[in-house]
Chains A and B, each alone.
Chain A
Amino acid sequence: MTGQALYAVVGCALFCLGFHALVVAAHPLRRLLAVNVMGSSVFLVLVAGSAPGDPLPQALVITGIVVAVAATALGLNLLLRLSVPAADGESGGGESGNGRQPS
């Protein structure tokens, strides 16, 4: 097995680990991180699984990384909004830091 193929196999394993965390984890932040790990593993498979020196997957991954950062920022802001009580005095998730109780 070449080094490049090994990276692709590691990407597959990371994807399934991330998916496992997404299904099992209760805290929204852990789920967001799990989705991040899955996304990064897709980038890894895309680059390592392509022909050596193929610029097309590299270009796709560069844009994908920036989109992933932006999507994560949106998710984090939604999580913060969930965890902080609303400004008009309505009590939201309280001080526990997570919007949903872990089951």
Chain B
Amino acid sequence: MKRAGSAVLALVLAGLAALMAWIVTRPVQPGRDVPAHIAGSIGDSGVSHPVTAVLLNFRGYDTLLELVVLLVALAGVRCLAPLPPPRGGAPVGGVLSELASLLLPVLVLVALYLLWAGASRPGGAFQGGALLAAAGILALLAGRDRFLWRFEHRLWPLASLGVGVFLIVAAGTLGGSGVLLGLPPGHAGTLILVIEGFALFSIAVTLVALFLGTGELEDREP
């Protein structure tokens, strides 16, 4: 009975996959040529890379709420009762420790470069934030996490900095031009860089805190 059930399930799913494959290979007939539309108005966006223009300007509302989702996930994790600190594991070796001290400045530098490069080529706050978070996690794993301690007690202000700055800009544009997140073309580039800079930092702090989970930094044996 169970075998028959899983065979039916596999058949149904194979049929579903075939149907979906047929649908996604149909020629696309857009009502409006979105890439051309974006390319036409990219001059007003303040950046020259179309993905960044969509993320931070044309669909900034999406990105703002997406940063809120990150905060909600962090709130969900921090609401859980604390777990006992992980036990066992090999002690940190000298190679990992030295490698981390070599790599950490490079990672921070590349993250900031990605933020800056986002204006004209692939890059931006999310890529840079992920890299900065990777640097933080590497520091945790290599036991070079002393500098993270000072973040621990200000976790919520630091993690919500990105959303806060984004909201201030949104309120400013609402008051100035009457359009929520309608960035004025003259200052759009600067505003995007400011939003992205704070968002990068908050994304990194949030991801490192998510990696730590319910545990406090003090609980962890380096």
Q: Which residues of A contact B53 (CB under 8 A)?
A: 55
**Hey, which chain B residues are within 8 Å of A70, CB to CB?**
69-70, 73-74, 206-207, 210
Contacts known (A11-B24, A73-B77, A80-B83); A55 close to B51, Cβ less than 8 A:
yes
Q: Does A16 contact B (CB under 8 A)?
A: yes
Q: Number of residues in A with C-beta < 8 Å to the partner?
A: 44
**A84, B84: Cβ atoms under 8 Å?**
yes
Instruction: Tell me the minimal C-beta distance from A93 to chain B in angstroms.
Output: 12
Max count, chain B CB within 10 A of own CB: residue among A8, A20, A77, A87: A77
Closest residue of chain A to B130 (Cβ to Cβ) is A66
- A54 an interface residue at 8 Å Cβ cutoff? yes
Please indicate the chain B residues that have their CB under 8 angstroms from the CB of A53 in the complex. Answer: 35
| Residue tally, chain B, CB below 8 Å to A | 48
Chain A residue, CB-CB nearest to B65:
A63
- Does B148 reach chain A (CB closer than 8 Å)? no
The residues in A between 44 and 63 inclusive whose CB is less than 8 angstroms from any CB of B are 45, 48-51, 53-56, 58-60, 62-63
Q: Which residues of chain A come closer than 8 Å to B51, judged between CB atoms?
A: 55, 58-59, 62
Q: Does B28 contact A (CB under 8 A)?
A: yes
Residues of B within 8 A of A78 (CB): 80
22 contacts between A and B (CB under 8 A): A8-B24, A11-B24, A19-B16, A51-B30, A51-B34, A55-B38, A56-B34, A58-B51, A62-B127, A66-B130, A69-B207, A70-B74, A70-B206, A71-B73, A73-B207, A74-B76, A77-B77, A80-B83, A80-B214, A81-B83, A84-B83, A87-B81
